[in-house]
Amino acid sequence: MRGLFFYELLNINLSSRNIILGGKNTSLMLKKVPNTFVIVFFIIVFSAILTWIIPGGTFDRHSEVVNGIERTVITPNSFHSFESQPQTWEVFSALFAGFVDKADIIVFILLIGGAFWIMNQSQSIDVGIFTFLRFTSKLERFELIKTLGVNNIVLTLIMLMFSVFGATFGMSEETIAFIVVLVPLAISMGYDSITGVSIVFVAAGLGFAGAILNPFTIGIAQGLSDLPLFSGIEFRLFSWFVINLIGITFVLRYAQKVKKTPENSPVYVEDQYWRDKGKQSSDKFEFYTPISAWVSFILIFSVMLIFSINYNSTTLKIGNSGITWPILPILTGIFAIFSIISLRKSVHFFILNLLLFTILLLIVGVMGYDWYIMEIATLFFSMGIASGIAMNYSADKIVKFFLEGVSDIISAAMIVGLAGGIIIILQEGKVIDPILNSLASLMDNAGKVTSVGTMYLIQNFINIIIPSGSAKAALTMPIMAPFSDVIGVSRQATVMAYQFGDGFTNLITPTSGVLIAVLGIARIPFEKWVKWIMPLILTLIVIGFLLLIPTVTMDLNGF
């Protein structure tokens, strides 16, 4: 992101002396804390050591149709041991294997990075941030808003929006694309990159943990447990509210501390990368609209018009129900109106309008057409090319900017591949199933509260080695659900234990490609992130256990 104006907006007076001192402190700190690549590689080595210690074994598996989708699940009571397969030289091939396994996320990151770099050359995001901050500053003339704090309101609304996305359609990988926009926005508002990541990634994680209608977690887990889909929604809604209240409060308190004293941010030095992009003030923006911007608009509008004709109605799936609307024709019409208005002002506002409708189409695609990483990456890639055309860039220039963006973000893609190697080592060593079997045996001869708490802790632990919510549901619920019948715990409570256990540790697990990608793009060292967020994680884990107690001690609807 070039040409941002963070210095003027933050009023930060960074003298050369301060920068040098900051660099010196960072150098000393880095001698104590290994690089993120080193940390992840050490985890790979530790995983390989486990394959020498833990005996090999596996569960039998069978196919089962869950909510109309065929999934491979574990057959209960089918665990059997066999000779272990210790991993040795495989620790060095883990990067290659991880790249293959996480290829979709890696390509997604590279396409997003390249596309946004093209857009960033236009300084449109700079203009958007400046306009947004100027608008919010005007709101302070209202006494109520001034009392609450306009920035607090903005951060809360953004977090609630992403939390709803996480709770309803399981937003996870999609958050990667928003980091590129919301991190510089947060820094422009006087915060840091941790705040920027929190208002999108942490917010979506809070919603994911307190899922209400998430088909990828609740839907699969309840389906495998033979429960009515999305039953028990009343208590889940209450849990979502409690989880978000705690999470948003934590982020807002931290954001206020950083805004008061930016140097106290644990990533203050790392954020120099973002501040270095901000040396051009708003008075240097040149507002104009080239003919090519109108050409870009006509091309995009024509494509949207064709899709509107072919898909004149869309069923947006919300949980187990859906709403059918002519959403694409509506969006096409609104896009045309907004585009003409923005083009009459400047090409920068047209590109911002293009970004807005890209996000809206992403939501429609995910909720209405089951889009995943490939479709989303294609959407943002098209947005980048359309932005380049609108700015009247030549084909060679668009390619040049795209490759610069890929180069700038390549380290984030590399760390995702390396983190993927952790799972490969554990899978090839055949130790995941023995771990599952051993943990399941911990629940024998325990009371209801203890049993549901044990399930909860097991799910938290398993989430570190199996970060995929849908995969974990398919692997654990066939074991947990029948076992809950034996110990007298409702299957709905078991699903809740899975839900909480799947959600909270997503924010710290090094095997999560999404987390590693988000931190890589934001340039936040993994160890600093864990140190910062650990108090919130521990608090949420405790709150999760307290929320589970009523599921086995009270007569709740659906339980």
Structurally, the chain folds into a number of domains equal to 2
Domain of 350, in residue numbers: 287-410
Q: Quick check: 192 and 199 in contact, CB under 8 A?
A: no
Q: Are residues 181 and 234 in the same domain?
A: yes
Q: Is 78 exposed, middle or buried (0-12, 13-18, 19+ CB in 10 A)?
A: middle
Q: Quick check: 206 and 244 in contact, CB under 8 A?
A: yes
Q: List b or e across 36-66, with b for residues whose CB sees 16 or more CB atoms inside 10 angstroms.
A: beebbbebbeebbebbeebebbbbebeeeeb
DSSP helix, strand, coil percent of the chain (3-state; round to 5): 75, 5, 20
Angle between helices 395-428 and 448-465 (to 10 degrees): 130
End position of a domain, from candidates 410, 439, 471: 410
Q: Give pLDDT < 50 ranges for the chain.
A: 1-31, 280-283
End position of a domain, from candidates 377, 410, 443: 410
pLDDT tens, residue by residue, 53-86:
988 888 888 887 776 667 777 787 788 888 778 9
Residue 143: inside a domain: yes
pLDDT at 27: 38
Q: Are residues 389 and 502 in the same domain?
A: no
pLDDT at 445: 64
Residue 112: inside a domain: no
Handedness of CA 333, 334, 337, 342 (dihedral sign): negative
Q: Are residues 205 and 316 in the same domain?
A: no
Q: Are residues 265 and 233 in the same domain?
A: yes
Q: Are residues 62 and 157 in the same domain?
A: yes
Q: What is the pTM of this model?
A: 0.77
Q: Are residues 365 and 438 in the same domain?
A: no
CA distance 373 to 102: 11
Alpha-carbon distances, residue 531 vs 259, 293, 369 (angstroms): 20, 46, 39
Specify the DSSP class assigned to residue 170: -
Q: Are residues 274 and 291 in the same domain?
A: no
Q: Are residues 372 and 298 in the same domain?
A: yes
CA distance 401 to 433: 46
Residue of 122, 104, 155 lying closest to 371 (CA atoms): 104
Q: Are residues 152 and 133 in the same domain?
A: yes
Residue 524: inside a domain: yes
Q: Are residues 36 and 167 in the same domain?
A: yes
Q: Are residues 276 and 166 in the same domain?
A: yes
Token pair belonging to 210 = 């307190």
pLDDT at 108: 87
Handedness of CA 386, 389, 393, 399 (dihedral sign): positive
CA distance 28 to 277: 25
- In this structure, how many other beta carbons lie within 10 angstroms of the beta carbon of residue 547? 20
pLDDT tens, residue by residue, 13-35:
333 333 333 333 433 333 455 77
Q: Are residues 201 and 331 in the same domain?
A: no
